[in-house]
Structure 1
Amino acid sequence: MRTIRSRAIRNRTAVVATAALLAGLSLTACQSDDKAKAAAPAGGGKASAGVSGTTAATPPSGTGSNGAADPADGGDKGSGTASGKSTGGGTGGDSTTPTTCTGDNTKAVISKVARPINHLLLTITNTGSRTCAAYNAPFLRFDEAQSPTRFIEDSRPQAVVTLAPGESAYAAVVLTGEPGAAENPGRVAKHLTISFGHKGAGSTGAPAELALPADTYIEDDTAKVTYWQSDMADALTY
């Protein structure tokens, strides 16, 4: 009788232990499943879409958000700046823009003329490779004169005379009356310095130094010179 009761007790104990073990395993499985769910993102599809969207939102180098070239990008900006400098150079230092006629890019010649009397003809020829502008009138100094020869204002042309390479401009120099006359207390001059005008007042560039024709008789107070002319005849009308 005791034996049967002992077996019943052992069997009941084993059942309880087995039930407890199964319950423990079930609880562990549930906890593991809950942990896995908590660690996983909410919806695999959404996570994948998020990664794809981030890649598309990052523009490639050198482009803006609309795919156009970004002026802030170093390469494109450098190209644009280089183009701008090229255009600026064309405007400021273009070889087609006239330079100023000076003693450096012209050859000057002074000569006597038969008519009108007591006149000299000053000729400059562009010896450079660019067109030059002969501004205003030449500043003339005979020998060591204290002031340049005055201008004939009526001879001012309507436009600045420009000389292509090889072309010439002219200015007439009025000396005085008949040499030796009592009313002309002049002198014989031997040397002439020619300075060249620019857009503003005064002279610029290298002057030209010339020997005057023999017996050039000048009266400093009455001598005068025309503005540069493109035609010799126009210069000699004064």
Structure 2
Amino acid sequence: MSTRTHRTRMLVAAALTAATLMVTACNSGEGVQDEGASAGSTSTSAPTASTTPSPKASGGTSTGTGQTDSAGSTSEGSTGGTAGSSGTTGSSDSSGSTGSKDSEPTRTPCSPASTRTTATEVSRPLNHLLLTVTNTGSKNCNLTGYPAVRFGEAQSVPPAFEDSKPQAVVTLAPGESGYASVLLSAADGSGSGGYTAKSLAVYFDKSASAAAHPSLPAKGVYVDDSIRVSYWQSTMADALDY
């Protein structure tokens, strides 16, 4: 047998074998099944995994979200309420009028306990006594109206010079002084019912319950029914105008 004939037979046999294998593979469907399974299983597997748990996951998410929303809502509401309460309390505290009241001028009347009172006989104007009240306390106090004075055993208090009434209440800061003058007797001697007094009680206003007791000159002071007092003033000069 020639070499060419032998080679030809081998090629034919190889071709037949390859054709047989291909037909067998096609008939068994292995090639198609492998490719289909590879592509199909990947594409089917992915949707199945995402589709089947999806409602459960969705339901779970929905439920979880609902719970979270509910809890969040409660928590936020709670926090909001608390914040509201705090805000209200804070607002109450600040308007707590405490701060405002502290910044306002005090309305506390001056009292003998937190002041020092002196009575000085002056040469001008004639027959006048100058009352000086000095705040020795640590807070502001007010001298309102005019002093109610009692000399010796007098049962009544003298009236005030109404035109001496100041435009504002006299407020004394710690260390400051307020003044009032007392006309003791008529300068021309026209007064009546005169007497010499050696003691004095000074009530800072007509409604005061406690009195200061400043010293008078050793010889005493002469008083008659012309006696008058000025309203409290912030300066000595204003007090001695009356």
**Superposition TM-score, scaled by structure 1 size:** 0.67
Confirm whether residue 134 of structure 1 aligns to residue 143 of structure 2.
yes
**Equivalent runs, 1:1-238 vs 2, <5 Å:** 43-44=55-56, 45-59=58-72, 63-64=76-77, 69-70=79-80, 72-73=81-82, 77=85, 80-81=88-89, 84-85=92-93, 87-94=96-103, 97=106, 99-177=108-186, 183-197=191-205, 202-204=206-208, 206-213=210-217, 214-219=219-224, 221-238=225-242
Higher helix share: 2
Question: Does the CA-based 8 Å contact 1:106-1:124 persist in structure 2?
Answer: yes
What is the Cα deviation at residue 235 of structure 1? 1.0
Q: Distance in 2 between matches of 1:208 and 1:146?
A: 17
The secondary structure found in structure 2 opposite 1:203 is: coil
Q: Which runs of 5+ in 1 are unaligned?
A: 1-42
Greater mean deviation of Cα atoms: 136-145 or 115-124: 136-145
Q: Summarize the Cα distance change of 1:182–1:225 in structure 2 as closer, same or farther, 3 Å threshold.
A: closer
What is the Cα deviation at residue 206 of structure 1? 3.5
Q: Residue type of the partner of 1:52? A: T
What is the Cα deviation at residue 226 of structure 1? 0.2
Q: Percent identity?
A: 41
What is the Cα deviation at residue 106 of structure 1? 1.3
Q: Distance in 1 between matches of 2:212 and 2:177?
A: 15
Q: Summarize the Cα distance change of 1:58–1:106 in structure 2 as closer, same or farther, 3 Å threshold.
A: same
Q: Which runs of 5+ in 2 are unaligned?
A: 1-54
Question: Does the CA-based 8 Å contact 1:150-1:225 persist in structure 2?
Answer: yes
Q: Distance in 2 between matches of 1:147 and 1:185?
A: 13
Q: Deviations over 1:117-160 (max 9, x none)?
A: 11100001111112222111111122232222211111001111
Q: Distance in 1 between matches of 2:59 and 2:138?
A: 74
**Superposition TM-score, scaled by structure 2 size:** 0.66
Q: Summarize the Cα distance change of 1:94–1:105 in structure 2 as closer, same or farther, 3 Å threshold.
A: farther
Number of residue pairs matched?
186
What is the Cα deviation at residue 61 of structure 1? 6.9
User: Which of 1 and 2 has greater Rg?
Assistant: 2
Question: Does the CA-based 8 Å contact 2:186-2:226 persist in structure 1?
Answer: no
2:21 maps to what in 1? none
The secondary structure found in structure 2 opposite 1:204 is: coil
Higher strand share: 1
